[in-house]
Amino acid sequence: MKLRVFIAVTHLLGAGHLTRAAALARAFMGKGHAVTLVSGGMPSPLTHLPGAEIVQLPPVMTVGTDFRTLLDAHGRPMGEDDLAARRDLLLEAFRAMRPDVVVTELFPFGRRVLAGEFLDLVEAAHGLVPRPVIACSIRDILAAPRKRDRIEEAHERLLRFYDLVLVHGDPALVPLEASWPVSERIRPLIRYTGYVDEGGVVADVQPRSGIVVSGGSSAASLPLYRAAIAAAERVLHQPWRVLVGPGVGEDVLGEIRSAAPPHVSVERARPDFRNLLAGAAVSVSQAGYNTVVDLLRAAPPAVLVPFEAGHETEQRIRAERLANRGLASVLDEAHLSGPRLAEAIESALTGPSVSHGIALDGSARSVGLIEHQVARAPNVHWRWDWTPLATAIKRARDVGWEPQFWWRDDDAVAETPALHRLLTLAERYRRPLAVAVVPKRAEASLAGVLASCPWTVALVHGLSHTNHAPSGAKKAELGPRRPLPILAREAAAGLFTLQEAFRDKALPVLVPPWNRIAPDLVLLLPSLGYTGLSSFRDRDRRAVPGLAWVNTHLDPIDWQGSRSLHSPDALIGLAAAAVDRRLNGLADRDEPIGLLTHHLVHDEPIWTFCDALLEQMAQHGMRFTAARPLFSGDNRIAVGL
């Protein structure tokens, strides 16, 4: 499998975001995949990736931590025409590649100021057939917006457009929840990769000697450099090396050199930085992502001065997590001074070495996760022929008839990971969902989850989903072998119980367990308070006054065989046949075609097919109808018994 991978990244302050994106690009190319990397920040040597297609957008940057004001390469505010030029170039590169995988770095968790171009990209990706896998790539720690609605906006975009979120960290050190409020809705998308590290193993240099001071690629480390020069006046028994990043101008670099005592070397950052760390008695640095990865790999005693200007919390969280594991000591930036830094260094010089076991193979794991996602969902449908369904839809539209669909899921009883996966799928494709709930077994957690999902309703799935059929007979709870008064009493109890627990979410619609119901009970349902009934297979045109009967027709589970996914080709054929039966007058055109799922027993092949089916339906503009209008009093057609 050779994939075409499209990575979009814009770094604004330092180059950490671009560093990770370039590392992923190299990892994909190392597995034989083709890569296009689109960079929207200032040009950097990091984007020299032999073998990759590099696209440099008109660059943007920011001053300090003002991430809302975008400046061009000359320091002038970016105008609408400039932003439009970036979007055009981004989409031109996307269309030229027609990727199998799209990776957006940080968005939608961040880069809200550039949301227009990122949204254009992922919307264009959703327009491709087959649709690419869409992934978000983020570091271990994020800066969560202060406004709750912005967090919800990010989650909505994830659920609508994305297949997975690659978190380049190790939850053993810091889980994403430490910096971002992870809701149960997005949790199924999250995959931890370990930290992204390309530097390889370093030698264990003994004895260690010298103090290595390093800053990031921006000028944000200037206070640290100056404090280090002052601290060196107090720590005279070790040689010092101060490595200054490219964001510091030559004039300022000259000032730092002039102030340094003789045992301090001041120079530009070096490509052998990691080897210097491996032999250092103490490392002094901020707590940026890439610096910390170098520290974890080289394992010197470390003093961290996390960058906290502009209410930044990322480096503080990371530094404290390392300190809690004995891997560093932390000095507040606000209290940074030469004497304090000298004291922290002297303490670190006598501290013990500590091993960590933190995962550093994030590049390889990221590629593996993407390859797995491509292989199973949603792009597994490349191997399936959807032409019969698309052709049936076209035949219907050619005569001016638009087939309708609806979706019912059975057997819900509680909040579970499978339920969240179901709701995530429904929200991603914006499909209304009717959840058939077992009233007597329903837990309060289920009502709470459905209450927060405006696109869902609850239907009455019998009373307790108990089989009362005799041995050898087909399973049924409300079947014809039981006395009618008992059936009526249980049907009424099921409706009352559901309405008490689910309030406005509950529809007076009966879904008989195992889709079997006594004919005499059907006639009683309106008098018991029901307005609707739903089972399986096409209905006929006989009417029951006051009762809407709308069935389901496509169940992806092979109940009589593997209890996994039924033949995908057969399922696609069944969906096409359901359209054709209505088109040819063999079934009621007014009855929408129903998808029936059972989230509690889905395995990966079933989830994959459902995802692919919903995507195909979205691609072809197939309409889904919500259950509430379907079961209104105006729809009183009943199926044959």
Residue 619 is part of a domain; what is its CATH number?
A: 3.20.20.370
CATH at residue 239: 3.40.50.2000
Backbone phi, then psi, for 171, in 5-degree steps?
-60, -15
Task: Please give the structure tokens belonging to residue 259.
Answer: 């102030």
Q: Report if residue 361 sits inside a domain.
A: no
Q: Looking at residue 131, what is its pLDDT?
A: 82
* Residue 514 falls inside a structural domain: yes
CA 628 to chain centre: 30
**Which residue, 197, 225, 246, sits at the end of a domain?**
197
Q: What is the mean pLDDT of residues 591-614?
A: 91
Q: Which two tokens stand for residue 538?
A: 């096409």
Does residue 370 lie in a domain region?
no
Phi-psi region of 41 (alpha: psi -120 to 50; beta: other; left: phi over 0): beta
Q: Measure the CA–CA gap between 433 and 596, rounded to whole angstroms.
A: 10
Residue with more model confidence, 271 or 415: 415
- The tally of domains found in the chain comes to 3
Q: How far is CA 504 from CA 109, 407, 485, in A?
A: 33, 19, 28
Residue pLDDT, tens place only, 102-149: 999 999 999 999 999 999 999 999 877 678 999 999 999 998 888 999
Q: For the segment 62-83, what is each residue's pLDDT rounded down to a tens digit?
A: 776 666 778 888 888 888 888 9
Report the distance separating Cα 221 and Cα 241, nearest Å.
Answer: 15
10 Å CB burial of residue 79 (0-12, 13-18, 19+) is: exposed
> Which of residues 162, 197, 232 is at a domain's end?
197
Please return the burial class of 444, using the count of CB atoms within 10 Å of its CB with bins 0-12, 13-18 and 19+: exposed
One domain, residues 171 and 218: no
Average pLDDT of the residues of the chain:
90
Residues 442 and 405 in one domain: yes
User: Does an H or E element contain 253, and which?
Assistant: helix 250-259
The per-residue pLDDT for 357 is 86
Q: What percent of the chain has pLDDT over 90?
A: 70
pLDDT for 46: 63
Give 435's strand partners.
409, 458
**What is the three-class DSSP state of 244?**
strand
347: Cβ–Cβ under 8 A, 6 or more apart, which residues? 329
Express each pLDDT in 441-482 by its tens digit. 999 999 999 999 999 999 999 999 999 999 989 999 999 999
Same domain membership, residue 463 and residue 436: yes
The tokens for 597 are 């799922």
CA 377, CA 306: separation in Å to the nearest integer? 40
Q: Which of 85, 86, 77, 108 shows the shortest CA–CA distance to 41?
A: 86
**CATH number of the structural domain spanning residue 136:** 3.40.50.11190
What is the 8-class DSSP label of residue 335? Answer: G
Examine the domain organization and report whether 15 and 126 are in the same domain. yes
Q: What is the mean pLDDT of residues 485-507?
A: 96
Higher pLDDT, 378 or 12: 12
Are 269 and 414 in a shared domain? Answer: no
* pLDDT at 129 (0 to 100): 64
Q: Given this model, what pLDDT does residue 65 score?
A: 63
**pLDDT (0 to 100) of residue 634:** 46
CA dihedral (444, 446, 447, 448) in degrees, to 10, reads: 90
Q: Is the pLDDT of residue 308 over 50?
A: yes
Token pair in block for residue 234: 């107090």
Residue 544 binned pLDDT confidence (cut-offs 50, 70, 90): confident
At 161, is the secondary structure helix, strand, or coil?
A: helix
3-state percent breakdown (helix, strand, coil) of the chain, nearest 5: 40, 15, 40
pLDDT at 47: 64
Residue at which a domain ends, from 197, 220, 254 = 197
Please, which contacts does 203-210 make with residues 24 or more away whose CB atoms are closer than 8 Å?
203/275, 203/278, 204/278, 205/278, 205/279, 208/279, 208/280, 208/281, 208/300, 209/238, 209/239, 209/279, 209/280, 209/281, 210/238, 210/239, 210/240, 210/241, 210/279, 210/280, 210/281
Asked whether residue 173 falls in the same domain as residue 221, the answer is: no
Residues 344 and 392 in one domain: no
563 and 426 in a single domain? The answer is yes
Q: Would residue 311 be called left, alpha or beta, if left means φ above 0 and alpha means ψ between -120 and 50 degrees? A: left
pLDDT reported for residue 636: 39
Q: Which residue has the higher pLDDT, 186 or 64?
A: 186
Residue 45: Cβ within 10 Å count: 8
Q: pLDDT tens-digit profile of 377-413?
A: 544 444 578 999 999 999 999 999 999 999 999 999 9
The rounded distance, in Å, linking the Cα atoms of 186 and 69 is 29
The pTM (predicted TM-score) of the whole model is 0.63
Q: 6 with 99: CB under 8 angstroms?
A: yes
Q: pLDDT band for position 201 (50/70/90)?
A: low
What are the E-state strand segments in 107-174? 133-139, 164-168
> Strand 637-638 vs strand 542-543: parallel, antiparallel, or unpaired?
antiparallel
Whose tokens are 């990244």? That residue is 9
Please indicate, yes or no, whether residues 298 and 432 belong to a single structural domain of this protein.
Answer: no
Encode pLDDT of 125-136 as tens digits.
987 767 899 999
At residue 313 the predicted structure's pLDDT band, cuts being 50, 70 and 90, is: confident
**356 part of a folded domain:** no
229 in Cβ contact with 202 (< 8 Å): no
Is 551 within a domain? Answer: yes
**SS3 for 291-317, per residue?**
HHHHHHHHCCCEEECCCCHHHCCHHHH
Verify that 184 and 215 share a domain, yes or no. Answer: no
Q: What is the pLDDT of residue 49?
A: 86
Residue among 607, 487, 630, 512 at smallest CA distance from 557:
607
pLDDT score of 272: 86
For residue 204, being part of any structural domain is answered with no
Asked if residue 174 and residue 232 are part of one domain, the reply reads no
Residue 511 lies in a domain: yes
| Res. 242 pLDDT band, cuts 50 70 90 | very high
Tell me whether residue 322 is in a domain.
Answer: yes
**Same domain (yes/no): 496, 556:** yes
Q: Could you list the residue range(s) of the whole structural domain that residue 139 is in? A: 4-197
